[in-house]
Homo-oligomer: A and B are copies of this chain.
Amino acid sequence: MKAARDTFEMNQKSEDCFPVYCSVKEVRAFLLRAMEAVKVDREIAAVACESLLHASIRGTDSHGIRLLPHYVAGVLGGRINPNPKIRFERRAPSCGVLDADDTFGGAAAVAAIDEAIKLASETGTGFVAVKNSSHCGALAPFALRAANQDMVGLAFTHATPKMRSENGVRPFFGTNPLCVAAPMLNEEPFCFDSAPTPFSNNKVKQYREEGRQLPPGVAADRQGVETLDPELAEQLLPIGGYKGIGLSMVVDMFCGLFTGMAMGDEVSTMYGNSMSEKRKLGQFFGAINIEAFEKPEVFKKRIQDLADRMRREPTGETGSDILVPGDPEKRAQKIRMEKGIPLTKKGRDDFYQLAQSLEMEMIRGNDDE
């Protein structure tokens, strides 16, 4: 405990030393220590931590390592089962259902996409619905597992109802994301991972912290009236009005209906509920074997050509680059694999509190190296 406090206090000396950069190796060790401290099965912990780490490396901080204290609280409260019996049942040659036994969604998701990949190897496509699951973090790591096997990977999850209905005053659907990944010839796979809202809840929080006005079409207040004031923002607006609602409903159909879990406004919320309540979420994963349609080399070359063409398109007044979906994450990954994962002051404080409460060594960070 002494080392932890020292490191933390050192970083407290000045606001300037934030963010603190921590190597991936060091963050991984910290995450695993925390999981071990709350007696999570070693294999489950390894997989769940890798998903958080993956999101942070790719710059998706909202779904990254900052969730560790929330996950630990979930284990301690009884929401998350640290020693699950994950069961997979094949229901048709290309379909199956995986019972997550209320463990980490990220661990269940890896098991599910791996089963989907196996099914797709046999029949061309594989689809696996996950029931009795919990928050699974960003979807990208799961879809990418399929892409790395020369398949198109698909991932869906429903989420806390937070998106205002079109013509309505309150949320009905969650910001239910979908993710599609596919291999490319000369770079990391194409990966489109997106919720049907322009902003995530986390991005609204960021604007709030920075005292910045929100752009139009992003958020609504408690009464459901659109607002530019991040202090008043309590609901998110969908992309394309009813189109975002439709996308969200489709995702919920896969995640709620194919799994027997709740749907729409009945989906459990991430925050605000007791940490002893199981989330009972559903997720849906798919793999499509490229070989069933096209030679993988041809597929990879053609999508690479397409991406290269896109990036060479003439830019508009702002001069901002034209990006292929997933490019910002690839850029973040390149930087963070070298520089490490940044911890904000709040992130560091949260980790320090966690380390204290679990009586384990605090993460150190680059200023000690």
Binding site for B on A (CB under 8 A): 91-95, 97, 122-125, 127, 129, 152, 165-170, 172, 180, 182, 190, 192, 194, 196-198, 216-217, 224-225, 239-247, 249-250, 252-253, 256-260, 263-265, 288-294, 298-299, 302-303, 306, 309-310, 313-318, 320-325
Contacts and interface: CB of A to CB of B under 8 A. Distances in A.
Nearest to A299: B257
Most buried by B among A91, A94, A225, A309: A94
Closest A-B pairs by Cβ, 10 of them: A92-B124, A239-B240, A95-B124, A246-B325, A95-B292, A258-B293, A192-B246, A92-B292, A93-B123, A167-B320
B239 A325 contact: no
Contacts of A259: 293-294
Nearest to A224: B316
Nearest to A180: B250
Contact of A192 (B92, B250, B320): B250
Contact of A168 (B124, B168, B264, B316): B316
Contacts of A244: 239-240
Contact of A318 (B91, B125, B167, B197): B167
B167 A315 contact: yes
Nearest to A321: B167
Contacts of A192: 246-247, 249-250
A322 to B, nearest CB: 5
B315 A168 contact: yes
Nearest to A316: B169
A258 B124 contact: no
Contact of A91 (B127, B166, B194, B292): B292
A314 B167 CA distance: 9
B260 A94 contact: no
A24 to B, nearest CB: 27
A265 B169 contact: no
B225 A317 contact: yes
A313 B123 contact: no
A323 B167 contact: yes
Contacts of A292: 91-92, 94-95, 127
Given A168-B315, A240-B244, A246-B192, A253 B321 contact: no
